[in-house]
Structure 1
């Protein structure tokens, strides 16, 4: 069991105790408050009022003979007996009421403190939840960084292999033999396709698509040179004019672009928004080794990664890996151009595309 799974289980237990604490503090606190503030004071007032009534009901001032005196004394005696008996009961009631009043007051205070501590606990729980979420996100980022580092290392090896292939690809007569884009770009792109789940967060339901467009200056068009995608995608392999669509816009602006909801974009055409295969994308310009985003030199092409899921890409995670990959493609195309220019008088050969 992973640490993250264990922390999630702990978090569930914390939430259960939190709900129970919230439920348990309501009813006792309400009863204790009502009794301490309403019921107990009323009972105490009634009891004390009764005990304060000490005047005798017999009026001795109106007695005129001995027989009336005897009768009055008998009534006084009976009243004192009843009063003594009721007074004892009243004292017991008063004592119990005062005791319950004290208990209710203490209970109300402690429950109130518990209620206050509950919110302290709630804040602590929320902070804990944030830590758990951050831990999971950090774990995902760390996994992505490790996978990206491995993919970049393998892609660099691929660049070296491709350049070596071009250098050694001469026949006995000295004629330079063309190599297809799949042979040049495939080994470099493969590690990122292989580790796409770790780097970009793809899952079984998200359809991936990696495409490389190379700019053809004579026709002023960005043409698809190489693609690796999910076999469930029905590809069209269309060309893009500079400034048109996310490929053309990225080419013109020479900067990384991310769109995590194609349908909400104000820059894309209706045809781009309607595709079920492309819900989010990231586009990166492919620049020559000596070029940068601030120059007026046109990019070599554009690297595009798309997904059928909304919100697939997080800039902080994918920016460096994809920009590095685009630089590797720029190095390869630049080196290939140098070899071609040394071996032939032409530039890029249109027949080199797949």
Structure 2
């Protein structure tokens, strides 16, 4: 029997979307193509998994806050994703006004977020002094997940609900819509390409790839929590006993999908930035180990469903880059609602208000 909906991509976005759809319209109506050859080299494996409610973009903040709220209210989902709660400290650029985001967070995660002078936060954490007049958003409810664990949970649940999970990689996507796998053309009512950095190789979509990389360093900073400095792009968190995870944004645009070999030159950049932000007396120690991957970035909008021009019934669900782990629960819920409508033969409504349109993962996970 032909499955009406095909989801291409076994990363975090595709796996969670497939589960959302299975809960809404039934697993046997969904096919999920994992592309098994790429799974060990994708951004889901490389992600550091930071989660919080705050984002400087208001729409992305809403999705991150709703995702975190869902994660925190469902113990089974939190356990399956390896959620560990710790405070978040987000140091803002001077020009950023976070008032609307703070109001949003107060509704979604009441009592979690507050605006604090950056210098006060830096002193409390033992960091270097901050520029005068700058601020930080401090969140009580934040932390990190293991994106690969959430991916595994989603695929396992989707399989249990009847989703046909295929290991093969899709060679091409055509109008129709149709996919070609192993030389065989398969037709569907809706095709969603959620293949991360590989997405633009299958469909015409405006996404750019960039290397992401971080290291785990032998540095005892147990009170670091989850740290983001928008001025330097440094991010990190405490990592077990006596270690921290640290990274900075790279400039490696156009990186080849699946490239997972760490760049040694990047370590020097991290050491330089970390020394300045963390207030270290000397050079940052060499990392115990490093992780690298390639993800895709959208010009705007982050991780969301996008209709593909001149290809009715074909969508992309990608572009979240580093924010995918933070927003995937809410983004996939909205995406699934649109796909459900498209699969029923009705014109899809791409602009949808946030809300529990499709059943939440927690409805299944908590049973």
- The TM-score normalised by the length of structure 1 is 0.20
Higher RCO by CA contacts (8 Å cutoff, separation 6 or greater): 2
Structure 1 or 2: more helix by fraction: 1
- The TM-score normalised by the length of structure 2 is 0.20
> Quick check: which has more Rg, 1 or 2?
1
Structure 1 or 2: more strand by fraction: 2
